[in-house]
Amino acid sequence: MSTHFNVSHRTRREFLTTAASGLGGAALTSILAGEGAFAARKPRRAAGALVNPLAPRQPHFPATAKRCIFIFMAGAPSQLDLFDYKPKLQELDGQKMPESLLKEMRFAFIQKDSATLMGSKRKFSQHGDSGMWFSDLVPNIATCADDICMIKSMQTDQFNHHPGQLMMQCGEAKFGSPVMGSWLSYGLGTENRNLPSYVVLTAGRGSSGGATLWSSGYLPSIHEGVRFRNEGDPILNLRNPEGMPRSLQRKGLDALRDLNQMRFEEIHDPEITSRIANYELAFRMQASAPELTDLSGESAGTLEIYGADREDPEVGAKRGGGPDQYRTFARNCLLARRMVERGVRFINIIHASWDHHSNLERELGFNAGMADQPIAALIKDLKQRGLFDSTLVVWAGEFGRTPLGENRPGYKEVTGRDHHPKAFSIWMAGGGVKGGLTYGETDEIGWDVVKDPVHINDFQATLLRLFGVNHLKLNYRHQGADKRLTSITRESHVIRELLA
């Protein structure tokens, strides 16, 4: 028998084998009727439909991480100005690169013949017992040095934004692939029946990937990320129509349940039972989602450390796009903690854009200022509440930025960096990763990885491993192949050194 992960995708034969052993259709319905809130099925895949696809399930191995807050810095932040300290690059500022290094390289905008190296203008220093390096743009995150597991040797296959973002979220740059939040929801279900298993929070402008960054792809759509909104109702359609009080809503749902039940007794289609359960869940969600997003119960101290009421500074930076980013991002971090407390499996905080082809100093400063304080507060808050060890926090973009300054035709001066898939930095904290570890190295100018390269798929295999999931065994049959989060055409490895 295949693993329990294939519940909603069992072949008819498997189902009948189970049915023969007494666990079949009708029996399952009654066992699970109480939780039969969700059902997803494809034509002729109905066998698994009676199993609640979001019921919590045990992973392959004991898990250290139970939940994940994935902070996705879409657009690709400059690792060279935040984490990967390269004094040599500063020294060589303005010089050309050896041609041999450039030969095979593809860039989005850089003109190879005239491009020169660009040193970071930031000041770097070491922090914590581990002596981890951080630039002066992230002083608060730096105070968490000994909790952070920094990977400086990340590599990706993609150098354009949308494909790169898909690569980071889906394991391959293919449209129609599920993102990792959907994979975890599919594999592990959720611990809170009154909230979605996978929530997306956004700040600033939309990202290059748009809704494809939380798409369940070929997985059942029940595992799609549910976007919580920053204004108005936290979830679309959550609020009753004007003039409909909750008491009458309840009476209406009672009548609806009774009529659906009568129909079920006539037609016997278990989907009706499932529909009844979903209306009940929707009703509970109407209460639980606003309760979740209502920050009035948080202490002034908590709001203060997250910076939940900060104004955007007047620095003339606009790339992040949209008003009120500091406040929104900080609140997103705080909301993520509240979701973690309530058992939401995967929370994706997406902020765009970090695509600093020009005006890097001002723009990156603006973004880092937005992100630094709330993220550090989040880590400390999780620790204080005893949630840190079981909650994985990730900071990542889709690729890195070049040590070369960007000299795109039409730019008067070189003030930014181009896309760089060969080497970039991401970090994790909590959830069973090794704090204080800096893993992998780039060369003197940060051009290429010289030690312990980590492909995005390796990182994803490791992330799943933290959840107790063997990345090779969390599968879904699609287009004839047993697909998984990591690419099926690449051999990916769990990086054990990252695990505590």
Partner 1 sequence: MSRFLPEILGPAAGCAVVLSFFCAEIKGESQEEMKPDFFRDVQPLLSEHCTACHGGVKRKGGISFTNRRDAFLEAKSGAVPVVPGDLEKSELVYRISTEDEDDRMPPEEALGAEEIALLTKWIAEGADWPVHWALQPVEKPKAAAVSGGHPIDRIVSARLKEAGIEPSPEADRRTLIRRLALDLTGLLPTPGEVERYLTDESADAYEEVVNRYMASAHFGERWARHWLDEARYADSAGYEKDSARADAYRWRDWVIEAINEDLPFDEFTVKQVAGDLLPGATREDRLATAFHLMTQFNLEGGVDAEEDRTKRVIDRISTIGSVWLGSTIGCAQCHDHPYDPVTQREFYEFYAFFNNADYEPIFIGEIPDDAEARVIKRYEQWKPIAEMLEAQLTNKSLSNKIQASLSRLRNFDNTNGFTRVVAERAENRRKAYVFRRGDFLQPLKEEGELTPGTPEAWHPLVPRAVAAKKAAAGEKDKEKKAEPVVADRLDLARWLVDPANPLPARVSVNKVWMHLFGAPLAPIPQDFGARGEPPTHPELLDWLAHFFVHEAGWSRKKLIKEIVMSETYRRSSRHRPALGDVDPDNVLLARQNRFRVEAELVRDLHLQAGGLLSLKVGGPSVFPPVPEDVAALSYANNFKWKTSEGEDRYRRGMYTFYKRTAPEPTLVTFDCPDASISNPARDSSNSPLQALATLQNEVFIEAVRSMAKNVLSAGAEDDGARLRAGFITALGRPPVAAEQSRLLRLLKESRDYYAGHTEEAKELAGAYTVASVPPAESAAWVATLRVVLNLDEFIVRG
Within residues 164-183, the interface with partner 1 by CB under 8 A covers: 175-176
Q: Does 480 bind partner 1 (CB under 8 A)?
A: yes
Q: How far apart are CA 494 and CA 500, in angstroms?
A: 13
Give the other-Cβ count within 10 Å of 61's Cβ.
Answer: 12
Structure token pair of residue 168:
């980071």
Nearest Cα neighbor of 276 from 262, 289, 290, 286 is: 262
Closer Cβ to partner 1, 257 or 383, answer by number: 257
Q: Does 242 bind partner 1 (CB under 8 A)?
A: yes
Within residues 251-280, the interface with partner 1 by CB under 8 A covers: 251-252, 255-256, 258-260, 262-263, 266-272, 274-276, 278-279
Q: How far apart are CA 339 and CA 347, in angstroms?
A: 8
CB proximity list for 160: less than 8 A, separation 6 or greater = 108, 419
Radius of gyration from C-alpha coordinates of the chain: 24
The span of 121-129, 137-145, 241-249, 360-368 binding partner 1 (CB under 8 A) equals 241-249
Q: How far apart are CA 145 and CA 436, in angstroms?
A: 6
Closer Cβ to partner 1, 95 or 240, answer by number: 240
Q: How far apart are CA 35 and CA 324, in angstroms?
A: 40
Q: Does 290 bind partner 1 (CB under 8 A)?
A: no
Among 64, 208, 391, 492, binds partner 1 (CB under 8 A): 208
* The residue to which tokens 């904290």 are assigned: 429
Q: How far is the CB of 336 from partner 1 (least distance, A)?
A: 19
Within residues 140-159, the interface with partner 1 by CB under 8 A covers: 159
Among 33, 55, 281, 387, binds partner 1 (CB under 8 A): 281
Among 3, 17, 90, 359, binds partner 1 (CB under 8 A): 17
The span of 11-19, 119-127, 184-192, 377-385 binding partner 1 (CB under 8 A) equals 11-19
Give the angle 62-67-71 at the CA atoms, nearest 5°.
Answer: 135
Closer Cβ to partner 1, 304 or 324, answer by number: 324
Closer Cβ to partner 1, 152 or 275, answer by number: 275
* The residue to which tokens 């930076």 are assigned: 317
Among 142, 188, 285, 336, binds partner 1 (CB under 8 A): 285
Q: Does 436 bind partner 1 (CB under 8 A)?
A: no
Q: How far apart are CA 329 and CA 335, in angstroms?
A: 10
Closer Cβ to partner 1, 8 or 153, answer by number: 8
CB proximity list for 110: less than 8 A, separation 6 or greater = 402, 404, 406, 407, 408, 418
CB 72 within 8 A of CB 396: yes
The span of 92-100, 212-220, 338-346, 450-458 binding partner 1 (CB under 8 A) equals 212-220
* The residue to which tokens 């743009």 are assigned: 137
Closer Cβ to partner 1, 21 or 299, answer by number: 21
Overall size of the chain counted in residues: 500
3-state secondary structure (DSSP) of residue 285: helix
The span of 62-70, 125-133, 210-218, 445-453 binding partner 1 (CB under 8 A) equals 210-218
Q: How far is the CB of 418 from partner 1 (least distance, A)?
A: 8
Give the CA-trace dihedral at 498, 387, 354, 308, to 10 degrees: -160
Closer Cβ to partner 1, 40 or 82, answer by number: 40
Give the angle 443-448-453 at the CA atoms, nearest 5°.
Answer: 100
Q: How far is the CB of 401 from partner 1 (least distance, A)?
A: 13
Among 240, 287, 294, 315, binds partner 1 (CB under 8 A): 240
**Per-residue binding letters, 86-115, with partner 1 (x by CB under 8 A):** --------------------xxxx-x----
Q: Does 232 bind partner 1 (CB under 8 A)?
A: yes
Among 384, 450, 477, 491, binds partner 1 (CB under 8 A): 477
Q: How far is the CB of 220 from partner 1 (least distance, A)?
A: 6
Within residues 112-131, the interface with partner 1 by CB under 8 A covers: none
Strand locations in 398-437 (E): 400-405, 417-420, 424-429
Q: How far is the CB of 161 from partner 1 (least distance, A)?
A: 5
CB 337 within 8 A of CB 376: no
Closer Cβ to partner 1, 46 or 387, answer by number: 46
Residue 435 DSSP class? T
Among 160, 390, 415, 470, binds partner 1 (CB under 8 A): 160
Give the other-Cβ count within 10 Å of 169's Cβ.
Answer: 30
Query: Taking phi first (over 0 means left), then psi (-120 to 50 degrees means alpha), and beta for anything else, what does residue 6 get?
Result: alpha
* β-strand partners of 74: 352
DSSP-derived pairing of the beta strands 417-420 and 400-405: antiparallel
Among 16, 55, 102, 499, binds partner 1 (CB under 8 A): 16
Among 98, 245, 297, 316, binds partner 1 (CB under 8 A): 245
Q: How far is the CB of 486 from partner 1 (least distance, A)?
A: 15
Q: Does 24 bind partner 1 (CB under 8 A)?
A: yes
Using a 10 angstrom Cβ sphere, with 0-12 exposed, 13-18 middle and 19 or more buried, the burial of residue 29 is middle
Among 4, 229, 246, 451, binds partner 1 (CB under 8 A): 229
Number of residues binding to partner 1, judged by CB under 8 A: 102
The span of 45-53, 142-150, 365-373, 443-451 binding partner 1 (CB under 8 A) equals 45-53
